[in-house]
Amino acid sequence: MTVIAPAAGTPRVLIVDDESGMLDSLRILLKSEGFAPVTAHGGRQGIDTIDTLQPDIVLTDVRMPDVTGVQVLSHARQVDADLPVILMTAQATLQSAMQAVNEGAFYYIQKPFRNDELVAILRRAAEHRRLRVENHSLKEEIRRRDTCASGRPVGRSKSWMEVLRLAEMVAPTDSTVLITGESGTGKEVIARYIHELSARVDRSFLSINCGALPESLLESELFGHVKGAFTGAVKDKTGLFPAADRGTFFLDEIGETTPATQVKLLRVLQQREVIPVGATEPIAVNTRVLAATNRDLEEEIKRGAFRADLFYRLNVIAVHLPPLRQRAEDIPLLAASFLARSAEQRGEPQKVLAEDALEALLAYRWPGNVRELENALERAVILSSGNTIHVDALPERVTVRCAEPLVSERTPDTPTLEAIERAYIQWVLHTEGGNKSRAADLLGIDPSTLYRKLARYGDA
């Protein structure tokens, strides 16, 4: 196989033939006409080259002793349905031409052919390829814009918007991402959002909770095993890492893994290969890893419970999710989203929150975060007979306010100045019955200033 490195934007043409003289003459011709020729001697080498070099055009002879040109065409169509393949033959028949067209050939040319005729066909194929690539890129860009516009995880608080912006920045890369945050904050939601915005969106998104399985079973799930590796291994099993090849693998609660499993995970990230349990030969994997934990891994490293080298491999990009109590302004939006989803699933009209129920939701601290909010609303939907959810349909823990202890191990949350200002303005408006003019007087600001602040908070 002969490879010539192409200049940027130069169409790379794979020439497949079993005659060295034909390969040489076509390579010289194509190079002089501005193409980047790559030659493969025989159909088998041609198929291998399609897999490794991803050409823009394939020019192949039909009659070859090992693998025919039609077989090369079939393989090329499986790898890339938009890859133009031109077939050459010295024994053209109507039947063979029809077969080539039915198989998806771009063109069928009979030997001997004029050089200018072949070059013209190749130029049309290159233009066809360029338009296909541009069309695909345009569709991908539209899909990304639509996803960003309407498929964003729900929330408009400043802290949540920063999380989404960071997720959107890292999504197009293949960098490993470590997502941290309390249980129930939406770590898997963000992981799926990153996958949906990545180039791997058409491939698998697989996930596993590392804390839900014992070590022996977890390793089998992650890396697979071979028949006879242990009692009960009656056949080979493909692990989730190989199953997620060219896709995304989400490792939830990675802080729960044992040191032995951490060593094997480090190998995957460093070597991009896995060794199934009981096997001796590694399997190469091209899998993007997203990991999540509710633990402080740096503290776990100090305790000797987590490997520092694995932490640094995982922590290429860090995304921290704020607890729900720090983004209370998102609660009405999240509640509306959950109620809409529930109505769709149940095939019933969407229920709405009464003012007393919303006030209770806003006052509660949500130790279980977004997951707890969703579960509370699911209960409320079931227990509410009408279309309005009142406070008595919410769980007692949400509606009964417990006094904060004087001493607590929890570090108190420090609200931002903007959050304090917004809460105070909302309280004044409430006391004045929503009258903005009287509220502005009480606040000592111009009504126009109050309107600007409300518009900025999204409360106008």
Domain assignment present for 143? no
> Are both 164 and 126 inside the same structural domain?
no
Q: 134, 162, 185 — which closes off a domain?
A: 134
What value does the CA radius of gyration of the chain take, rounded to a whole number of Å?
31
Domain shared by 381 and 450, yes or no: no
Residue 212 lies in a domain: yes
Residues 227 and 373 in one domain: no
Q: Residue 386 sits in which domain range?
A: 325-399
Let me know: does 301 contact 346? Beta carbons within 8 Å: no
Out of 271, 297, 322, a domain closes at 322
pLDDT of residue 410: 52
pLDDT of amino acid 145? 47
> Which residues lie across from 205 on neighbouring strands?
248
Residue 24 domain-assigned (yes or no): yes
For residue 405, being part of any structural domain is answered with: no
For 321, left (φ over 0), alpha (ψ -120 to 50), or beta?
Answer: beta
pTM here is 0.58
User: Count H helices, E strands: the chain?
Assistant: 19, 17
Asked if residue 189 is part of any domain, the answer here is: yes
- pLDDT (tens place) for every residue of the chain, 460 residues total: 444 444 446 899 999 999 999 999 999 999 999 999 999 999 999 999 998 888 999 999 988 988 999 899 989 988 888 899 999 988 766 566 666 766 788 888 888 889 999 999 999 999 888 877 776 665 555 444 444 444 689 999 999 999 999 999 999 999 999 999 999 999 999 999 999 999 999 999 999 999 888 888 898 889 988 888 777 777 888 889 999 999 999 999 999 999 999 999 999 999 999 998 888 888 999 999 999 999 999 999 999 999 999 999 999 999 999 999 999 999 999 999 999 999 988 898 999 999 999 999 999 999 999 999 999 999 999 999 889 999 999 999 998 764 444 455 555 556 666 677 787 788 777 777 777 877 887 777 877 778 777 776 666 5
Same domain flag for 394 and 427: no
Boundary (domain end) residue, out of 134, 165, 188? 134
Do residues 251 and 387 share a domain?
Answer: no
CA-to-CA separations, 340 to 229, 329, 357, 384, in angstroms, rounded: 49, 18, 17, 15
Q: Looking at the structure, do residues 166 and 124 belong to the same domain, yes or no?
A: no
Residues 341 and 316 in one domain: no
Q: Are residues 156 and 283 in the same domain?
A: yes
- Give the CATH number for residue 430: 1.10.10
List residues bridging with 177 in a β-sheet.
Answer: 290, 317
Residues 330 and 316 placed together within one structural domain of the fold: no
The CATH number of residue 165's host domain is 3.40.50.300
Specify if 182 maps to a domain: yes
Instruction: Say which CATH number the domain at 380 has.
Output: 1.10.8.60
- Domains held by the chain: number: 4
pLDDT on residue 142: 46
pLDDT of residue 254: 96
pLDDT (0 to 100) of residue 97: 63
CA-based torsion, 51, 54, 60, 62: positive or negative: positive
Domain membership of residue 142 (yes or no) is: no
175 and 272 both lie in a single domain: yes
Residues 126 and 191 grouped into a single domain: no
CATH number at residue 124: 3.40.50.2300
Does 315 fall in a domain?
yes
* Same structural domain, 259 and 329: no
